[in-house]
Structure 1
Amino acid sequence: MPLSIVREFGPHLIEAKTPIFLSDCLSHVARELGFDHFALAYEPRVRFEERKSVLMHNYPAEWAEVYVSFDLAGQDPVRRACDRALLGFEWRNLAKLIPLTIGDHRMLAVGREVGVADGYTVPRHIPGEGTGSCSFVVGPGSELPRERLEVAELLGAIAIAAARGLAGLGQYHCKPALSDRQRECVLWSARGKTAAETAIIMGVTEFTVRKHLKDARERYNVHCGQTLILCALYDGLISFPDLLRWWNNLLE
C-alpha cells in the first residue's frame, strides 16, 4: 500500500539531523515511489541571510554540471512555478501555472536529453522566512507513477520541513524585536494611519507615537516607516490578515 511508505519513511525524514541522512532517506523514498531521482531545496529569505540554504539531489551528473555552469537557477521554470502553486504539480502542467518562454522549453528539452525527463514538484512557502521545494523525477522512457503522487506530496512536504530544520529555522528562541506598544504603533501605521490618528486611537499623545516608531526603527536599524513595516511582517509581529481584515471591514 502506498501509505505504508509514508509510515515507513515519514519518521526518518522528520528525525533527519544531517544532510547525508536526509539525502539517503530521500533517495530510498524516490525509488520506493517509482522515481529515479530527487531534488530538495530550502532557501531562507533576506532577514535570515545568516542561515544557509539547503540543496541536495541525486540528479545525473551531466545535468547538475549544466545547471550550475550556466547558472540556470534564476531561469528554472519549475522554481518559478513553485511561487504559483499551493500543492505539488507535474512538470507537464507548468504552462498552467506560468507562461513558458522559448528559453524555458529549451531548458526542459536539455534536461530530458541528459536524464531529467519529467517530474513532480512539491512547493512550500513561509512568507518572510523562506521557500522550499522537493522534486521527484523520472528519466527518459519512464512514466510518472501517478497513482503515488499523493504519497509524494506528503513525503515531499515532510522532507522540506526537515530541510528547514537543517537550515537552522523552525524554532525561535529570540525575544520580539518590538515592545507591545511599538508593535501597535507599527500596525496602525501599516493600516495607513498617521501618527496623530494613531495617537487618538491608542489614547496617547502624538509625541509618544512618534517616539515609539522612532525607537522601533532604531531596533531594526532602518530609516523609514515602509522598511519598518516590512521588517515587522518578516518577523511575524504583524501579519497580512491583520491588515486585510481591517481594510475589508472598512469597505463593508
Structure 2
Amino acid sequence: MILEEAISSIEASGTIDELRLSLHRVVQNYGFSGFAFIDAGRPELDLPYHTGTYPPAWERAYIQNDFVHCDPALTRVRRTNTPFHWGELKLPERQGRKRPPELKMMEAARDHGFRQGFVVPFHYRDRLGAVHSSSTVFFWEDEPRDFDKLFVCHRHELHLLMIYWVQRAMDIVNRDQRNAPTILKPADAAETIKLTGREKEVIAWAARGKTVADTAQILGISPETVEGFIKQALRKLEASNKTHGVAKSIALGIIDL
C-alpha cells in the first residue's frame, strides 16, 4: 500500500472503529503486528483513554502492572515531537535483584513478542489553549535488523500517517461527540458556559485592564460585589485566576474587546 492509498483509507473511515481497523491494515503493510494509541497528556490517570489492535494479554499486563506510570516511552513522548524507537530509550540500570519498573515494563513487552516499537508523539493545542498529547506505538515482532531498515526508510511516512489519523479521529468525534474521549473532543465549552450579564461585565472590564476598584466605580457597585461576580465567573469558566478567566472568555467569544 503506497502512502497516498494509506491516507485515502484513513480519510475514508467513517467511525472510530473503522479508523482503528484502517490504521491496523496500513501498519501491517509496513510489517508491524499492531498498534496502541494512548492519551499521554494525563499522567495522573491510572487508566487513560487507549485504543488499538494489541493482543488482549498485553493490555491486561499493561493495566494490571500499572505500566502507564513507568512506561519510558510515554515519559519521552511528553518531551518531544520527534518519532523514536524503543532502542533509543535510556533505561535505568538494574541494581541487584530489584528491577526498576521501566525495565520490568520493557521486559514484559519482549515476553509478549514485541521486539521493537516505533513511537509517534502527537501534541496539539485546542482553541482554549489546552495542550493535548498522545502516544502511538507500532509493535514489531520480526527481526530487529528488518525494523532498523524500515525505521530509516519510512519513519517520516509513518509520522505523516499519524497526523492524518489523529485529525480524522477528531473530525469523526466532532460529528458525533456523545461518548468522545477528551483527547479527541474539540473544545465546545462556549455552548455550556453561561455567565450572567454582571459576570460578563466584570470580566470584560478586567480584560480592559481595570482593577476591582475601577470596575466597582464604573458599575456603581461595591468592590466586594465585583469580587463576588469575578469568583462566580471564574468558577463557571473553570479558570485558575482572573487572567486565565479573561483569556478563556475571549477565546470562547463570551466577551468582546
TM-score of the superposed pair, with normalisation by structure 2? 0.65
Q: Which runs of 5+ in 2 are unaligned?
A: 94-99, 174-179, 252-257
Task: Report the counterpart of residue 155 of structure 1 in structure 2.
Answer: 161
Task: Report the counterpart of residue 170 of structure 1 in structure 2.
Answer: 186
How many corresponding residue pairs? 219
1:39 to 36, 42, 45: 36
Task: Report the counterpart of residue 217 of structure 1 in structure 2.
Answer: 234
TM-score of the superposed pair, with normalisation by structure 1? 0.66
Deviation per residue, 1:166-196 (Å, 9 max, x gap): 436126383484676555566689xxx9645
2:80 to 62, 80, 85: 85
**C-alpha distance in 2, partners of 1:176/1:60?**
39
2:236 counterpart letter in structure 1: R
How many angstroms does 1:69 deviate by? Answer: 2.0
RMSD (Å), alpha carbons:
4.0
**Identical residues among aligned pairs (%):** 20
SS in 1 for 2:69: helix
Q: Is the 8 A contact 2:40 2:135 kept in 1?
A: no
SS in 2 for 1:108: helix
**1:20 and 2:13 aligned:** no
Task: Report the counterpart of residue 104 of structure 2 in structure 1.
Answer: 106
Question: Which structure 2 residues correspond to residues 1-252 of structure 1 after superposition, within 5 A?
Answer: 4-5=2-3, 7-42=4-39, 54-95=49-90, 100=92, 102-125=100-123, 126=125, 128=130, 130-142=132-144, 143-144=147-148, 145-146=150-151, 147-164=153-170, 165-166=172-173, 167=180, 169-170=185-186, 172=188, 174-175=190-191, 177=193, 181-184=201-204, 195-196=212-213, 207=223, 210=227, 213-220=230-237, 226=240, 236-237=248-249
**C-alpha distance in 2, partners of 1:113/1:153?**
27
Q: Is the 8 A contact 1:37 1:59 kept in 2?
A: yes
- Cα separation, partners in 2 of 1:171 and 1:33, compared to 1, 3 Å: farther
Q: Is the 8 A contact 2:81 2:122 kept in 1?
A: yes
Deviation per residue, 1:42-74 (Å, 9 max, x gap): 4786xxxxxx96422222343222112222212
**C-alpha distance in 2, partners of 1:237/1:14?**
34
**C-alpha distance in 2, partners of 1:154/1:214?**
44
SS in 1 for 2:25: helix
- Cα separation, partners in 2 of 1:44 and 1:79, compared to 1, 3 Å: closer
Q: Which runs of 5+ in 1 are unaligned?
A: 46-51, 240-252
- Cα separation, partners in 2 of 1:82 and 1:217, compared to 1, 3 Å: same
Structure number with the bigger relative contact order (C-alpha 8 A, sep ≥ 6) is 1
